[in-house]
Amino acid sequence: MEKATANGGRRSSHVLLFAYPMHGHMSPMLQFAKRLASKGLLVTFLTTSSVTESLQIDLPPSYPIHLRFISDFHTEVIETLKQRHEAFAAAVSRSLGEFLDGALINGDHPPRLMVFDSVMPWAMEVARSRGLEAAPFFTESAAVNHILNQVYEGSLSIPAPENAAVSIPSLPNLEAEDLPYFPSVIREVTLEFMTRQFSSFKDAKWIFINTFDQLEPQIVNWMGERWPIKTVGPTVPSAYLDGRLEKDKTYGLKRQKPEDGRAVEWLDSKETASVVYISFGSLVMLAEKQVKELTNFLTESGLPFLWVLRESEMEKLPENFIQETSGKGLVVNWCSQLEVLSHKAVGCFVTHGGWNSTLEALSSGVPMVAVPQWIDQTTNAKFIADVWEIGVRVKLNEKHEIATKDELEASIRQVIEGREKKNSIKWRKLAKEAVDEGGSSDKNIEDFAKTIMLLSN
């Protein structure tokens, strides 16, 4: 069969990618879709229709990736998070089945396999009941997935007893605070949501993880001896890594509200590695006490800063803060994070430590100050500080509530002046090598594409 390029060609080897409808889940799967398309596969990217209320998918026309949406509409009255999860699974299982029935029966090139976001484990049975092979895609690190699988299998409990040492095969020694953290108010339902990912994955022929071999070698090797693990990360637009994918400067996701374009222009006026970039992602809601400590630090430190703060969080800022710091700082509601992280003016990244943000900073060579909030972020912060040594984890006050302004300043000055920057440059090079031609992730994607092509002959 002729292998097509990203600019066209004959494609009959069809793969369906089914993404969970949240920004942090769609971004890595869209990037994986581009990599698959660049290997000559026909790709359909599928998600649910509700995502269009807040996001727009905008991919370069040079990539033969077809976009499709299925309904996640439900009529049930939703009063709890658990009910929301159950209603979503029921509604989307039905619409996914209907979509697959049409694609398998009426399509000119029916899909050979469906890659689905691992937080929707029921998708595997929907596909297999129709004779379609399915493979999960894990958007978290291998370490976090390994830990949560231990919880699923019953060999580990979360939360662990305070001050307890935690020993897990292939992982460094962990303390209780290094494990994924689930706030008590949502612990039961969220822990169930995160651990049920492992209910059906072990009999899959492929298991894709958004990491790369050299980043988590012991964990990947341990898991790979037991299951068909394939690392395919970091799933960051090619322009920031190997540069081999044409016009690949963004994930292809846009907010329905226009982005604030001031950030990059403002950075252009700043000295190299002088700016503290602050962002806690699209979901974290900082406590007012934490916002106060941050603003006190920014007011008193004299360091230039760029702070991305959602519109709904702006009311937590002290009165006149923006006006009083306008000479050295900029607060925006949204920006292109990769553009910011790749800018020469950025000296460090104060982050919640979500996995996408971690990979973006690592791929940009920017050291991090991790202020983890929940779920995977606590484990990511452990690896950022103690394993990869590309940042520090901020110590919380005695009540374990917030990071004080003094602790924030000490942490930020450490990563600006210490070895973390040098280590970040090293990891940036390794990330690029992983996705470049012949790298570990590139080989895994290439081998998978070749296998799918053989199935189509």
Q: Which residue type, as a one-letter code, is found at position 64?
A: P
CA distances from 354 to 83, 98, 306, 308 (A): 26, 34, 19, 15
Is-contact 267 306, C-beta < 8 A? yes
The CB-based long-range contact list for 100-104 (8 Å cut-off, 24+ gap) reads 100/126, 100/127, 100/130, 100/132, 101/130, 103/16, 103/44, 104/130, 104/131, 104/132
d(CA 427, CA 233): 13
Contact of 412 with 276, CB cutoff 8 Å? yes
Is 203 catalytic? The answer is no
Tell me if 415 sits within 8 A of 348, measured CB to CB. yes
The strand ranges marked E within 196-328 are: 207-209, 229-231, 253-255, 275-279, 305-308
E strand map for 333-418: 346-351, 368-370, 391-393
What's the CA gap between 207 and 224, in Å, rounded? 10
Q: For the chain, give the number of residues.
A: 457
Active-site residue, from 25, 146, 343, 352: 25
Maximum Cα–Cα distance across the chain:
66
- For residues 320 and 331, give the distance between their C-alpha atoms in angstroms, rounded to a whole number: 12
Nearby residues of 159 by Cβ (< 8 Å), 6 or more positions away? 176, 179, 181, 182
Dihedrals φ, ψ of 274, to 5°?
A: -105, -15
Q: Which two tokens stand for residue 364?
A: 């940009």
- The catalytically annotated residue of 72, 117, 242, 442 is 117
Distance (Å, whole) CA 240 – CA 237: 6
**Catalytic residue check, 117:** yes
Active-site annotation, residues: 25, 117
